[in-house]
Amino acid sequence: MSTVNPSHPVNYDCAGPNHNGVPSFGVIVDHKSVRGNIALDQFGCNHQEEGQPSLTEIKISELPSQEQSREKLTGRNWDLIMDDNENFLIFDSSTESEACKEHNQIMRNHVESYSALSSSNLSKSNNDDSQKMRPDDFLCVCSSPHDPTVHLPKDDSQEVGEKAHAELTPQAPLTCCEKPVNSGLSDKMCVETSGCVSLSVQVGEPSHRGIRRRCLVFEMGGSHEQNMLCDPENNTPPSLSPSVKLSPGDRQQAFFKPCPSPQSTVVPSIGLHLNSLAIISKEGTSAEDAFSCERQSGATVQKHPSISLKIERDDLSCGSEIQDLASMQDSFQVPATGCGDNLNPGSPMKEIDKTENGGETGGCKRCKCKKSKCLKLYCECFAAGLYCVGLCECQDCLNKPMYEDTVLAARKLIESRNPLAFAPKVIRTSEPATEICEDTNKTPASARHKRGCNCKKSRCLKKYCECYQGGVGCSPSCRCEGCMNTFGKRDDPLPFGNHGIVPEEEEIHATDKDAPQHDFGRGYKDGKPFSESVLPTTPASQIRSSFGRPPFFSTVKPPRASSIPKPTLDEHLQMDSEDEMPDILSYSLLPASAKNTTSPNRKRISPPHHGVNLSPSRKGGRKLILRSIPSLPPLTSDSVEELGPSVMEL
């Protein structure tokens, strides 16, 4: 039961060639404490080299030493950005494909040595040779459509993996999407541990029967990126597979059951569409509980008696879905430590999957697009950064791995219009953890739709309303009529958890065309992100939150001085304690063209919101300004031409 299935391939997502700045994911192996030797590396391609522990324990925890990381990255055109101390790395490379390829080779070499050392050990628990981990079971997947280094698992891996997987002790209460292993459908299995790990794999098709559905690993354009590592064989996260068994027929997403205790924590995995997660909070499901594990960032969590996982949020990069997850997490404003330790053993994370998405889709979207070819935002799959799966009822679907180029091109095209098109629709922020702890009366969550709804007839009481659908109240950003949103009416001074979302400054700026707006897509001023041109530079010393990380990680983990990013990292997330920016996410890293991004908010100059008062703590507190990951540059005519006929046709 404690034997790790060596046949579980470990996939390394190195992100795409345009992957700009955020590590694909951050499953980290703490070799210090790892007795097992499945070397999940920390950044997709990077991996541990030494140590041949037994397979009985995997501890995902800490980054390897900086030197180690640097050593591996240096010379591959990877930029390793680390904070002064630790736990923050950002890769960027113009030649990630190459880097990935090299990493792949390294991985293989590593696995070979590992396999040789461990094969005997594995054989003891299972005589099936297939359980031996093979070098080829390790994948370094580069999302680049041009990257020839997308390595595929051996065809026999699935069978082996499934067999081995069946032998695993299914203690992990995962829920995933419903897709028979042999359905032949593409599948996605994403595991996000407490917002830390989003695992995916990119496996070409159709030969990769190991994976049923893969996530779109979009480039980092916008803030919507999926960097997920999946176990194509068993649809279980490589690092978790030993102890995790997906529920039958659920292969696309998996949730880890909320940890019953701080010590026994396996973070739920979110692979479903982001905004739907917001329902969690409203339906009484304590997302806080669900993600409490991550708030215990750094704490070793044990899912399996023989498996210990340690998630280090700081080191993880997540995609859009993860960001949404993070947003949700943030919405609860749970202190990273201390205040957030109240776990709810009974947190029905699985129910979320069932009630919200899993009931029909197993946590995954199934679109029914007929004309959009699933390459427009009409398509929920596409909008969510997912490839369509066989269960989709779409017609003429091009949102499939085999059309990756087209998909990416379409995405670029959309992002060229609206760099935030793929950004989470529901933005959630939180007060600094410490403040929450200090003032327990404060609303723990704040959330809002990034753009606001425009409902006319539904009164924001139906899922037509994106705010309602996202489980958030309407805000002054909305232009809805007759709002009756049960999560908070637009006119409510302090909708549930939405206190102070709309700042007074917004009204001020609304009268100034040049002034930055808290409107996504208008984050530029004078050619610079207004966070740069307007917002005062936040001294690193003032940054306390998960600064320099992808938005996903905001406020979840207690900030550490050591995690204060270098100035270049300020591009992504900024915790400003001085300015009057509200606690909203300010996606500001937009190209100048982004100003033209369609944003209904631009049309509206909201009257003073008398009801919106900044809480004392807010006024005196730090302001969280989450800035999007730099988006793709506006496409030029040439670039559009490069998109190919499929996109041109759109």
Summarize as ranges the residues that interact with DNA (CB under 7 A): 367-374, 376-380, 383, 414, 417-418, 421, 425, 451, 453-460, 462-466, 469, 596, 598, 602-603, 650
| Min CB(548)–DNA separation in Å | 28
Return the residue matching tokens 């100059």.
605
| Min CB(635)–DNA separation in Å | 13
| Min CB(616)–DNA separation in Å | 33
Return the residue matching tokens 């998909």.
407
What is the CB neighbour count within 10 angstroms for residue 583? 29
| Min CB(506)–DNA separation in Å | 17
For 101, phi then psi, to 5°, come to -60, -45
| Min CB(526)–DNA separation in Å | 17
The pair of structure tokens assigned to 629 is 């990951």
| Min CB(86)–DNA separation in Å | 38
**Cα angle, residue 575 at apex, residues 573 and 577 outer, rounded to 5°:** 160
One-letter identity of residue 482? G
- Going by the DSSP 8-state scheme, the letter that residue 92 receives in this structure is B
- Which is nearer to DNA, 103 or 518 (by Cβ)? 518
Residue 607 burial by Cβ neighbours in a 10 Å radius (0-12, 13-18, 19+): exposed
| Min CB(254)–DNA separation in Å | 21
The pair of structure tokens assigned to 358 is 């899993």
Measure the CA–CA gap between 608 and 372, rounded to whole angstroms.
Answer: 40
- Which is nearer to DNA, 185 or 569 (by Cβ)? 185
- 619 alpha-carbon distance from chain centroid: 30
- Which is nearer to DNA, 28 or 367 (by Cβ)? 367
- Which is nearer to DNA, 490 or 560 (by Cβ)? 490
| Min CB(369)–DNA separation in Å | 3
- Which is nearer to DNA, 425 or 499 (by Cβ)? 425
- Which is nearer to DNA, 309 or 465 (by Cβ)? 465
Measure the CA–CA gap between 244 and 231, rounded to whole angstroms.
Answer: 11
Closest CA to 174 of 289, 254, 109, 242: 254
What is the DSSP annotation of 142-192?
A: ---TT-TT-----HHHHHHHHHHHHHS---EEEB-----GGG------B--
Closest CA to 41 of 164, 171, 141: 141
- Which is nearer to DNA, 339 or 386 (by Cβ)? 386
Measure the CA–CA gap between 485 and 475, rounded to whole angstroms.
Answer: 10
Measure the CA–CA gap between 522 and 510, rounded to whole angstroms.
Answer: 12
| Min CB(569)–DNA separation in Å | 29
CB 501 within 8 A of CB 472: no
What is the CB neighbour count within 10 angstroms for residue 509? 20
- Which is nearer to DNA, 442 or 459 (by Cβ)? 459
CB 165 within 8 A of CB 234: yes
- Which is nearer to DNA, 6 or 419 (by Cβ)? 419
- 135 alpha-carbon distance from chain centroid: 27
| Min CB(416)–DNA separation in Å | 10
| Min CB(411)–DNA separation in Å | 10
- Which is nearer to DNA, 72 or 412 (by Cβ)? 412
- 420 alpha-carbon distance from chain centroid: 15
- Which is nearer to DNA, 370 or 619 (by Cβ)? 370
- Which is nearer to DNA, 98 or 519 (by Cβ)? 519
- Which is nearer to DNA, 418 or 574 (by Cβ)? 418
Half-sphere exposure of 9 (CA within 13 A, CB side): 39
| Min CB(398)–DNA separation in Å | 11
| Min CB(234)–DNA separation in Å | 29
Half-sphere exposure of 65 (CA within 13 A, CB side): 6
Closest CA to 551 of 429, 437, 404: 429
CB 171 within 8 A of CB 181: no
For residue 349, what are the contacts with CB-CB under 8 A and spacing of at least 6? 175, 255, 256, 257, 258, 268, 285, 289, 290
| Min CB(507)–DNA separation in Å | 18
- Which is nearer to DNA, 279 or 437 (by Cβ)? 279
Measure the CA–CA gap between 424 and 472, rounded to whole angstroms.
Answer: 13
One-letter identity of residue 310? K
| Min CB(251)–DNA separation in Å | 20
One-letter identity of residue 350? K
CB 497 within 8 A of CB 470: no
- Which is nearer to DNA, 413 or 433 (by Cβ)? 413
